[in-house]
Amino acid sequence: MTLLHTGIQFNGQTGLYSGKVRDVYYFDYLIAMVASDRISALDHILPRPIPYKGQVLNQIALHFLEASKDLVPNWLIASPDPNVSIGYPCEPVKIEMVVRGYLAGHAWRTYASGQRVLCGVEMPEGMQQNDAFPQPIITPTTKASEGHDEDISAREILNRGIIDEAIWNQMCQYALMLFDLGQKMANERGLILVDTKYEFGIYNGQLILIDEIHTPDSSRYFYLDGYQDRQDKKEPQKQLSKEFVREWLMANGFQGREGEIMPEMPDDFVKEISDRYIELFELITGKNFIKESQENLKERIENNVNTFLANYMPV
């Protein structure tokens, strides 16, 4: 059994929001974020769920939220189930903070088209795909409830009044601190954190980190061993990320444009995606991945969350 849609009614639940991958359940003093096995790419949810993906995402996010909580305050309170995180309800800031340490993915496609400015940030001349930037850059996007997120510059964010300058500056500071920590932790495990995104919210007047952090859904990783040799030879980098899913879709005629038909994913490709997610979990955390039983998955989640709620005392 995989978790495509949660469809759970928890005790005391006051609301539900279904995102691309996570379903967020609202309570009086808390939110419960349930990581499904859905996978999205090119801003579309793919029709087939990926076994164990939700567990992988939730547990990688927990690993980094715990590691960074003394550096940047975050929303997490507890994880009563392998697929669930429970935390403080925040007012989301409608900006995703994309931090890029290397010229890859969207940044490379922009660069290869001849453009040298991305989200108001100038990229140096003479770079090749997957080169490191002289220092990490922040290329924010608007946070779309559905459809495509859009690139936006710092000047546009402030001119539109989306957030004020003090909050923007703090978001930049937090994002770069988190990225630096993520890069160091990745290097220790033989990986390179190439790029990632962070989301923030306001809770009791304080800016805090929300959602996931440094997972394969929000981040791109290269293998550290042989990186420079591959660059010198202009060879593709070995990577762990969702980029191979995007590339598979595009190679099969789907680029996320209106009217295009999404190709059907064969069983072996679904298994490959699952295996890659598990591999990244083990590489980045240094822990063995324990596959929790997939039987009665919804019932397990419902029971674990309801037990936590029954014993939770608001601070």
Q: What is the per-residue pLDDT for 145?
A: 56
Cα 168 from Cα 171, distance rounded (Å): 5
Q: Find the helix packing angle between 165-188 and 53-68, rounded to 10°.
A: 110
Give the domains, in start order, of the chain with CATH numbers: 91-244 (3.30.470.20)
Q: What is the per-residue pLDDT for 143?
A: 78
Cα 196 from Cα 218, distance rounded (Å): 5
Cα 267 from Cα 40, distance rounded (Å): 17
What is the pLDDT tens value at each position of the chain, 315 positions in all?
Answer: 788 888 899 999 999 998 888 999 999 999 999 999 999 888 888 889 999 999 999 999 999 999 999 999 999 999 999 999 999 999 999 999 999 999 999 999 999 999 999 999 999 999 999 999 999 999 999 976 555 679 999 999 999 999 999 999 999 999 999 999 999 999 999 999 999 999 999 999 999 999 999 998 889 999 999 999 999 999 999 887 777 888 899 999 998 888 888 999 999 999 999 998 898 899 999 999 999 988 889 999 999 999 999 998 876
Q: What is the per-residue pLDDT for 148?
A: 61
Considering just the CA atoms, what is the radius of gyration of the chain in Å? Answer: 19
